[in-house]
DNA sequence: TCCATATGTCAGCGTTCGCTTACTTTAGCA
DNA sequence: TGCTAAAGTAAGCGAACGCTGACATATGGA
């Protein structure tokens, strides 16, 4: 399963949790976070802490693999200008 | 490359950046973050934001894959008591 | 040697995290 | 119908994020 966005990660976590028949409270205790945290991350919370995310994956026996690949048509979503940077700035200005 | 900790992620990012002959400033601009951020994440910053991390991986053409696997001897590091939870609490109390 | 580049550190600031606690809503079941 | 558990929402709080800007070390070339 490829992960590109926080929302995708959240969906993966939720699916896996359900497959293991755990409720949010139990999982939260297992990870060492609050139930609130589980709810927000499953909903795709983009600013969740990396460390906690990794612990959540571990608690659910999900392995994370990083690969340098060649996925052909990948940069089509990247025009000349840098979308990511623009979004990043927008996020800040608005706030 | 398996990712288990923020430090491992940081090392992967740094290696990949060097392989692409980018300096921290250039990468930071490409991701849409400050140079500071790049430095800290490469050093294994555990509380970095998930969304920014994903953007960094994208900027470096690193693919993230989540897999439910069976890695045999995996739970040996998990005694009866829940280490993760203990660490989590410790992190909080100390602060 | 002097200068430019790359990396790392420090301090201060506004924003937001993740936490707790409490309430609401939904679903299944006796 | 009422009860229970699961899931979601909201408010308030201390701690830490990521940012800017300036400064500190290498390292390498002119």
* Tens digit of each residue's pLDDT (9 = 90 or more) over A37-57: 999 999 999 999 999 999 999
Residue B42 pLDDT > 90, yes or no? yes
Do the domain assignments include residue A47? Answer: yes
pLDDT of res. B68:
85
Give this complex's ipTM: 0.80
Smallest CA–CA distance from A47 into chain B, residue: B49
Tell whether B5 is within 8 A of chain A (Cβ): yes
pLDDT of res. A68:
85
Do the domain assignments include residue B81? Answer: yes
Do the domain assignments include residue A90? Answer: yes
- Which nucleotide across the nucleic acid strands is nearest to A47, CA versus C1'? C17
Query: A22: domain range?
Result: 6-94
Do the domain assignments include residue A1? Answer: no
Mean pLDDT of chain B: 80
Our measurement of CA A47 to C1' C16, in angstroms, reads 9
Mean pLDDT of chain A: 80
Interface contacts (A, B; CB < 8 Å): 144
CATH number at residue B56: 1.10.260.40
Q: A61: Cβ–Cβ under 8 A, 6 or more apart, which residues?
A: A16, A20, B68, B69, B74
pLDDT of res. A53:
97
Burial (CB count within 10 angstroms: exposed 0-12, middle 13-18, buried 19+), residue A33: buried
Burial per residue of B51-75, b for 16 or more beta-carbon CB atoms within 10 angstroms, e otherwise:
bbbbbbbbbbebbbebeeeeeeeee
Question: Footprint of strand D, using CB within 7 A?
Answer: A 18, 23-25, 36, 39, 42-43, 49, 88, 92; B 32-37, 40, 45-49, 52, 95
Nucleotides of strand C under 7 angstroms from a protein beta carbon: 5-11, 15-21
**Average of pLDDT values for B14-40?**
96
Task: Name the pLDDT band for A93 (thresholds 50, 70, 90).
Answer: very low
Residue B31 pLDDT > 60, yes or no? yes
pLDDT of res. A79:
36
Do the domain assignments include residue A15? Answer: yes
Tell whether B13 is within 8 A of chain A (Cβ): no
Do the domain assignments include residue A70? Answer: yes
**What domain count does chain A have?**
1
pLDDT of res. B94:
33
Do the domain assignments include residue A67? Answer: yes
Q: Which residue has the higher pLDDT, B89 or A6?
A: A6
Tell whether B94 is within 8 A of chain A (Cβ): no
pLDDT of res. B70:
63
**Average of pLDDT values for A54-77?**
77
pLDDT of res. A95:
31
Residue B8 pLDDT > 80, yes or no? yes
Do the domain assignments include residue B1? Answer: no
Q: Which residue has the higher pLDDT, B94 or B49?
A: B49
Answer for B34: CB within 7 Å of strand C. Answer: no
């Amino acid at each position: 399963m490829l992960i590109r966005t926080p929302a995708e990660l959240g969906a993966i976590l939720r699916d896996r949790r359900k497959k293991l028949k755990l409720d949010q409270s139990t999982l939260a205790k297992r990870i060492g976070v609050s139930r609130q945290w589980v709810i927000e991350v499953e909903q795709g919370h983009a600013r969740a802490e990396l460390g906690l995310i990794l612990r959540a994956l571990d608690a659910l026996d999900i392995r994370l693999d990083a690969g340098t690949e060649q996925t052909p048509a990948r940069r089509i979503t990247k025009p000349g200008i840098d979308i990511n940077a623009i979004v990043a700035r927008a996020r800040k200005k608005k706030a």
